[in-house]
Amino acid sequence: MFKTIKGTKDILPSEIHKWHYIETTLRRLFHRFGYQEIRTPVFEETALFQRGIGETTDIVGKEMYSFRPEESSPSLTLRPEMTASVMRAHLQHNLSNISATTKLFYISELFRKERPQAGRQRQFWQFGSECIGSQTPESDAETIALMMTIFKALGVKHSTLKINSLGDPESRLKYREQLQAYFKPHFDTLDDISKVRFETNPLRILDSKNPDLQTLIHDAPKLIDALDQDSMNYFQHVQSCLKAYSIDFEIDHRLVRGLDYYSHTAFELIGNELGAQNALAGGGRYDGLSKILGSKQLVPAVGFAAGIERLIITMDKLDLFSEIKPNAPTVYVVLQTKEAKTWAFKTVHQFRVKGIAAEIDLQERSMKAQMREANRLGAQYVLIVGQRELESQMYALKHLESSKQETLSLEDIETKLLNAIELCIA
């Protein structure tokens, strides 16, 4: 027997209603904020991610699924994140010629060779947005507001939003030097990975979870103190927008994105219901990415990404799916006699063509078993048909929840079922 590969999961029919509910809510909210969907290929050139995510990151260093389809072809990689692909698509198709600001969203599966654990898979799903072309604090605030509105609409209300500012590239460079000067006298006490980061990317030492380093990290100079006036004003403006939108936040000085092309706003949404893997979503401004991907012009951009599996774990813990019913048939046609078979299958087909979700037994089971199945599926009505019904052309329609039964013509039944659907949609 074959089984799913470590770190991957089947999404079975018993779970799919959760995904549909989330995806429908996402599409509705993204559109409300003026975002259009983009779908990019599952694999791209490895170099796109090496440059777009950064050689010093764990993702590029050890988590990518890379392969060469032919010996002579460039190395390809299953996408481990979406931002580089979306920016590549934006540049390749000159989307800035169509509109100065392009607002894109995605719902995509990603691949990372991480050690699987609760909330961490090797194939997982993310949704997110990229607002490309605008370099205003309002676009940073809009991205955060969009993310928070989505989580709130889905019922995840008590998570913590952390924000920070990385300033402009000059402020970052100044801070990098300050950090190196601070850590230098303590170099021997750093762990191996932090020693490497001291050279390659000292900001990422602040990400360390090593308990022995926490006091040293706590006392490190703060990025915010290295910001120049313009960067400070930008950050203040983002904060006042968030306050105007009544979005609560905390400033977290340790929230740094280690890559050179990030600038200004960085943010993270921390879930209260998750264990070790508690980041629900993260994002920030990445003005420098376009140039790293080969664009002559700087194309400013800001975005966020959130994991769907972690969202589902959170929503399960908060019992947010209990009200959402899996797709259930409006009517289940129950056969009392074999003679009714031809009529019943034809009627079910007609119902379906007319827009009524109708179901019928394909196992030739007893009437009792058919009724049990109708209940299991959560059908609203059962239509019972036997010899008497066929002769009189009047059929028994039973509403399962109330057990109320009526005898009606097929035409009246159709009208009733269509009305029931309309009531559900309303």
Binding site for ligand AMP (CB under 6 A): 81, 112, 114, 119-121, 124, 126, 279-282, 305-307, 309-310
Residue 153 vs 279, nearer CB to ligand AMP: 279
Closest distance to ligand AMP from the beta carbon of 349 (Å): 42
Residue 110 vs 340, nearer CB to ligand AMP: 110
Closest distance to ligand AMP from the beta carbon of 306 (Å): 6
Closest distance to ligand AMP from the beta carbon of 12 (Å): 18
Residue 79 vs 103, nearer CB to ligand AMP: 79
Closest distance to ligand AMP from the beta carbon of 112 (Å): 5
Residue 190 vs 203, nearer CB to ligand AMP: 203
Residue 59 vs 390, nearer CB to ligand AMP: 59
Closest distance to ligand AMP from the beta carbon of 305 (Å): 4
Residue with nearest beta carbon to ligand AMP: 307
Closest distance to ligand AMP from the beta carbon of 309 (Å): 5
Q: Reduce the secondary structure of the chain to three states and give it as a string.
A: CCCCCCCCCCCCHHHHHHHHHHHHHHHHHHHHCCCEECCCCCEEEHHHHHHHHCCCCHHHHHCCCEECCCCCCCCEEECCCCHHHHHHHHHHCCHHHHCCCEEEEEEEEEECCCCCECCECCEEEEEEEEEECCCCHHHHHHHHHHHHHHHHHCCCCCCEEEEEECCCHHHHHHHHHHHHHHHHHHHHHCCHHHHHHHHHCHHHHHHCCCHHHHHHHHCCCCHHHHCCHHHHHHHHHHHHHHHHCCCCCEECCCCCCCCCCCEEEEEEEECCCCCCCCEEEEEEECCCHHHHCCCCCCCCEEEEEEEHHHHHHHHHHCCCCCCCCCCCCCEEEEECCHHHHHHHHHHHHHHHHCCCCEEECCCCCCHHHHHHHHHHHCCCEEEEECHHHHHHCCEEEEECCCCEEEEECHHHHHHHHHHHHHHHHC
Residue 149 vs 337, nearer CB to ligand AMP: 149
Closest distance to ligand AMP from the beta carbon of 7 (Å): 8
Residue 151 vs 351, nearer CB to ligand AMP: 151
